[in-house]
Structure 1
Amino acid sequence: MRSRASVLHLDMDAFFASVEQRDKPSLRGKAVIVGGTSGRGVVSTASYEARAFGVHSAMPSAQARHLAPQAAFLSGRFEAYRESSRVVMGLLHEVSPLVEPLSLDEAFVDLESADIDTGDVAAVRRLAATLRHQVAGRTEGLTCSVGIGSSKFMAKVASEMAKPGRGHQDHVVLVEPGTEADVIAPLPVRAIPGVGPVAAARLDRLGMKKVADIRQASREELVRELGQAWGAGLADLALARDDRPVISSREAKSISVEDTFEHDLTDRAECERVVDRDAALVCARLQHSGRFARTVTLKAKMSDFSIWSRSVTMTGATDSAERVRRMARHLLGSLDLREGVR
């Protein structure tokens, strides 16, 4: 953790939905939901108008339709999202050479490498406000929330606090060094990086609902219950101790394609056709990136939501769609299709 608030986290507001509202004036001020439009689809992004009805990302599209039947449901235009993302990321690189994109709509920026005195809190706040103004100008009206803190963890917490509807009119929050532990104490355990639904449920069974609850447990107890690496890491993060650096580039470790079907698949020939198509798609992306791969993984979510997964590692690397197809079909042969693949 740094002695100064010098890590900035920028998060675009309802990014996909906001791009749609920008490009289609008839949607402005209305509930917009972007994601899978089929009965098996999942919400990627919901506009703030849609969130007022309880719709949120990762929610099944069918549930979203029930909550907000009057909303506009869109499948998404990813080239438009990528173009706006390129504009935002380019602007961040003008601020600092150290920018770590997390996705199309959010990134960390290391202000220690920027032309600014990070010890001047007022100057840091002005930079954040100027950055928001420039994002809106260059993207023709898209908005973002900005958080600044002494670590990546605290910067992300701050940007969440800066989101629309959280009471910060300028949508910029800076967590002063020395106040981190107090700021995160009342937050739910899922505010801690790496705590997803499964880990949160396990912590809940241990009586730990908020970050402050984790602090009441000893490091030994956390290690005993959660394992050495995760238990010790959680104990540190609950005290706001985070020394992760901002990494300016990330090399992709995997390339994948995923499908959700309108009806559960039980026909092997149909599954083979899906595997063949996805092998071609994933290898096209592999070839475009100029890389090769050695391991092929096939994963299936069954009708009861259980996950089946198998992998095979080849003796040599490849970008051949035919070779990947053969490997994937071989893996498919061990999948019992009687219960259906979702």
Structure 2
Amino acid sequence: MENQILHVDMDAFFASVEQRDNPELRGKPVIVGGVSERGVVSTCSYEARKFGIHSAMPIFMAREKCPNGIFVSGRYGKYTKVSQEIFRVFNDVTSLVEPVSIDEGFLDLSQGHIKNGMEAARYIKNKVFREVGLTLSIGISYNKFLAKLASDWNKPNGIKEIKKEMVPDILFPLPISKIHGLGKVSVAKFNNMGIYYIKDLYNMPKEFYIEYLGKNGIEIFERIRGIDNRKVENIRERKSVGKEKTLKFDTKNKEELREYIKEFSYEIEDVLNRKNVLGKTVTLKFKTKDFENHTRSKTLINYIGAQEEIFKVAEELLESEALNEEVRLIGVSISSFKEPEVEQMSLL
């Protein structure tokens, strides 16, 4: 039997936690994020998405689109605890779990006691809903690219399996923006050439991919043919843990960027706690609008893992930057891992 990989994605996670905990919010447009006018949307409920609101949108714009929306500053400590409950369910199924962020992850069923993808997906959905009170969407396939693509297929609260015999035909009608690894600049460039859908791109020769995408071109060429050799990696096999986001709107506003790194630090703490490791090198990464990458790191004397510690170092790194150019991508990571030391109790 061919190995199966699951990609699990919580449905509007932060907003769903708020609606779960406060019944008065259910069925209403809930927007979670910085409540100041310079803040940005972290996530929003599906009711809010009908108004055109999305993550990374400035709060002032969200208020204009949805004046009757309910704006919540966010309880990131609470979201971390709920995430840990959900990932414990994943670990019931398999020991090979790769957290992508606080609300999504990959599961490799080769290490699990449930080998069938559909059976594992139903077990996870039922148990999370019963014990945590939230819904999620799950994609099932034979590699990471297709599993992630499938999880987005029937959102919210959906299950979708992409089998080998379905590829490439099932991919052809999808917009090229669905291809993991193809950035918005490349998408715009291809759109200007008249390439809008995967079928359009599929028909191009391999040399075309290399010419326009460089070393990344071969990966894109293979992915839309159902080939993705990336493995599901447990945190112990990774050299760093981080989170980054390409912003919807370029900015030099440090208050806005601070909100992103604060949110990232909660997610990083969650991953470190789940795998019982600490780190001591914090790295701030940002990319300016002219696509120039910048990284700033600080290595500490002591190992850390708490959100407030990670955020403090990342914030210091951000404050030390002049930011002469607008930023289009921001990220934080931690590396140089070790497991926490456990003091052995002596028997008297």
TM-score tier, shorter chain, comes to 0.7 to 0.9
Shift of 1:297: 5.2
TM-score scaled to structure 2, two decimals?
Answer: 0.74
The answer to whether residue 235 in structure 2 is matched with residue 242 in structure 1 is no
Which residue number corresponds to residue 128 of structure 1?
Answer: 121
Q: Secondary structure at the match of 1:193?
A: coil
Give 1:145's aligned residue: 137
* Of 64, 73, 76, the match for 1:75: 73
Relative to 1, partners in 2 of residues 1:157 and 1:264: Cα closer, same or farther, differing over 3 Å? closer
C-alpha deviation, 1:198, in angstroms = 1.9
User: Kindly tell me: are residues 298 and 48 of structure 1, through their superposed partners in 2, closer, same or farther at Cα, counting changes over 3 Å?
Assistant: closer
The one of 49, 62, 65 aligned to 1:64: 62
Q: Which moved more, 1:101-110 or 1:190-199?
A: 190-199
Q: Does 1:14 align with 2:12?
A: yes
**1:292 maps to which of 280, 285, 293:** 280
Q: Is 1:221 aligned with 2:208?
A: yes
Query: TM-score, normalised on structure 1?
Result: 0.75
Q: Any conservation in 2 of the 1:95–1:114 contact (CA below 8 Å)?
A: yes
Aligned to 1:41: 39
Instruction: Provide the residue aligned with 1:253 in structure 2.
Output: 240
% identity of equivalent residues: 35
- Equivalent residue number for residue 191 of structure 2: 204
CA contact (8 A) 1:7 1:110 kept: yes
Which letter maps to 2:130?
A: G
Contact 1:7 1:150 in 2 (8 A): yes
Partner of 1:121: none
* 1:171 to 2:169 alignment: no
Q: Please state whether the residue corresponding to 2:194 is helix, strand or coil.
A: coil
RMSD: 3.8
For 2:171 and 2:109, how far apart are their aligned partners in 1? Answer: 22
Kept in 2, the 8 Å contact 1:108–1:246? The answer is yes
Work out the CA distance in 2 between the residues paired with 1:76 and 1:66.
20
Change (3 A) 1:257 1:222: closer
Report the secondary structure of 2:51's partner residue.
Answer: coil
- CA shift, 1:86, in A, is 0.4
- Which whole-Å CA distance do the structure 2 matches of 1:171 and 1:160 have between them? 8
Amino acid across the alignment from 1:146: I
Shift of 1:203: 2.2
Task: Report the counterpart of residue 30 of structure 2 in structure 1.
Answer: 32
Please state how far the C-alpha of 1:176 moved relative to its aligned partner.
Answer: 2.2
Q: Is the 8 A contact 1:154 1:180 kept in 2?
A: no
Structure 2 residue ranges without an equivalent (≥5): 303-308, 329-348
SS at match of 1:91: helix
CA distance in 2, matches of 1:147, 1:192: 15
Deviates more, 1:74-83 or 1:5-14: 5-14
State the alpha-carbon separation in 1 of the partners of residues 35 and 26 from structure 2. Answer: 20
* In the alignment, structure 1 residue 187 sits paired with structure 2 residue 174: yes
Q: CA separation of 1:147/1:290 partners in 2, compared to 1, >3 Å: closer, same or farther?
A: closer
* Equivalent pair of 2:101/2:243 in contact (CA under 8 Å): no
CA deviation after TM superposition for structure 1 residue 253, in Å: 3.0
Instruction: Give the C-alpha shift of residue 318 in structure 1.
Output: 3.3
Distance 1:244 1:328, change over 3 A: closer
Contact 1:5 1:175 (8 Å CA) reproduced: no
SS at match of 1:292: strand
Q: Distance in 2 between matches of 1:40 and 1:189?
A: 32
Structure 1: unaligned runs, 5 residues or longer: 119-123, 165-169
Q: In structure 1, how many angstroms separate the alpha carbons of the residues matched to 2:122 and 2:114?
A: 14
| Residue in structure 2 matched with residue 318 of structure 1 by the alignment | 300
